[in-house]
């Protein structure tokens, strides 16, 4: 998969799949799957570091996890999130932030919202860095939005998201994440744009879907929003393996002869 394939998939009406990934072991597993694209999301702050939101993700954290994912899934197209405020500094620092993620192994960067970001997007795309946009519920704007709420429910706010989507496409974004917006709005934007949209909590009318690795595998017991579907009861699955190990230690079933070195 490369950015040309994103456009091709939209034209051919083939759905795009994206899964978040933060570490080498998961990346190895995903590298053997048919997933189109991996996202080293700033949700890493929550899933891997236990913070309550994405605002604690730093460029250093993003680069570290991007490099690990890149080592584990060298065959996959990797998008890495520019974290909170890392692209809202001086123009030079903003470009450097993108450079850090690309040099860590990402093929593209993702950033949230349009206002104030368009010159950077244009500069990055003209400099060879593909940019994925992100509109709707943008978690880095948690406090400005007054919490995690579905966006674009009023005519005015829906119109703003639509205008921003066009502005991002015009600035050079090769694709766009639409998070937690009404399904009819996501579908309308998807039909109007020439770049593919990837939805999360945005209904079936987008060109693709993204979910957080831990959510789709049922590993995150604390968090179950309406838009998440767990395709595995991963938490029980892991617990069964762990309990079997503990039981085998206690009963002496493990280790066996084949697990021992003779000399």
Catalytic residues: 179
* 207 lies in the binding site for ligand KIV (CB under 6 A): no
5: tokens are 């394939």
Residue 112 CA neighbour count, 13 Å, CB half: 21
* 152 lies in the binding site for ligand KIV (CB under 6 A): no
Cβ proximity to ligand KIV: between 85 and 156 the closer is: 85
Over the window 53 to 92, marking each residue x when it contacts ligand KIV by CB under 6 A and - when it does not, the resulting string is: ----------------------------x-----------
Cβ proximity to ligand KIV: between 37 and 124 the closer is: 37
Cβ proximity to ligand KIV: between 124 and 200 the closer is: 200
d(CA 111, CA 257): 54
Among 43, 100, 197, 206, binds ligand KIV (CB under 6 A): 43
Over the window 7 to 26, marking each residue x when it contacts ligand KIV by CB under 6 A and - when it does not, the resulting string is: -------------x------
How many helices and strands in the chain, by DSSP H and E?
11, 8
Q: Judged by CB under 6 A, how many residues of this single chain contact ligand KIV? A: 10
Q: DSSP readout, 110-175?
A: E---STTTHHHHHHHHHTT--EEEEEES-GGGHHHHTSS-----SHHHHHHHHHHHHHHHHHT-SE
Cβ proximity to ligand KIV: between 162 and 214 the closer is: 214
* 212 lies in the binding site for ligand KIV (CB under 6 A): yes
Task: Tell me phi and psi for residue 157, to 5 degrees.
Answer: -70, -30
d(CA 80, CA 38): 8
- Quickly list H helices, 20-87: 24-31, 44-47, 59-72
Cβ proximity to ligand KIV: between 138 and 162 the closer is: 138
Helix (H) or strand (E) holding 198: strand 197-200
Q: Is 134 exposed, middle or buried (0-12, 13-18, 19+ CB in 10 A)?
A: buried
Interacting span for ligand KIV (CB under 6 A) from 39-47, 168-176, 234-242, 244-252: 39-47
CB of residue 42 to ligand KIV, shortest distance in Å: 5
Q: What is the dihedral of CA 139, 118, 88, 105, to 10 degrees?
A: 80
Interacting span for ligand KIV (CB under 6 A) from 24-32, 36-44, 86-94, 187-195: 36-44
Closest C-alpha to 208, from 186, 228, 230: 186
Site for ligand KIV in 177-206 (CB under 6 A): 177, 179, 200
Among 22, 36, 42, 62, binds ligand KIV (CB under 6 A): 42
Chain residues binding ligand KIV by CB under 6 A are 20, 41-43, 81, 177, 179, 200, 210, 212
């Amino acid at each position: 998969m490369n950015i040309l394939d994103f456009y091709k998939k939209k034209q051919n009406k083939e759905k795009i799949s994206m899964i978040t990934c933060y570490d080498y072991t998961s990346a190895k597993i995903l590298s053997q799957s048919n997933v189109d694209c991996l996202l080293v999301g700033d949700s890493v702050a929550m899933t891997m570091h236990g913070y309550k939101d994405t605002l604690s993700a730093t460029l250093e954290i993003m680069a570290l996890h991007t490099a690990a994912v890149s080592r584990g899934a060298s065959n996959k197209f990797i998008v890495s999130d520019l974290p909170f405020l890392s692209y809202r500094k001086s123009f030079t620092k903003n470009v450097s932030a993108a450079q850090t993620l690309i040099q860590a192994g990402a093929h593209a960067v993702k950033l949230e919202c349009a206002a104030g970001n368009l010159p950077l997007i244009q500069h990055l795309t003209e400099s060879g860095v593909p940019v994925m946009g992100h509109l709707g519920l943008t978690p880095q704007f948690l406090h400005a939005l007054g919490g995690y709420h579905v966006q674009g429910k009023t005519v005015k706010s829906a119109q703003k998201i639509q205008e921003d989507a066009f502005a991002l496409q015009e600035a050079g974004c090769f694709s766009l994440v639409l998070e937690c917006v009404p399904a009819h709005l996501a579908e309308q934007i998807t039909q109007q744009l020439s770049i593919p949209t990837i939805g999360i909590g945005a209904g079936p009318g987008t060109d693709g879907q993204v979910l957080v690795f831990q959510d789709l595998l049922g590993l995150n017991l604390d968090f179950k929003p309406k838009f998440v579907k767990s395709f595995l009861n991963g938490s029980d699955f892991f617990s069964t393996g762990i309990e079997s190990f503990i039981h085998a230690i206690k009963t002496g079933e493990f280790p066996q002869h084949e697990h021992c070195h003779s000399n």
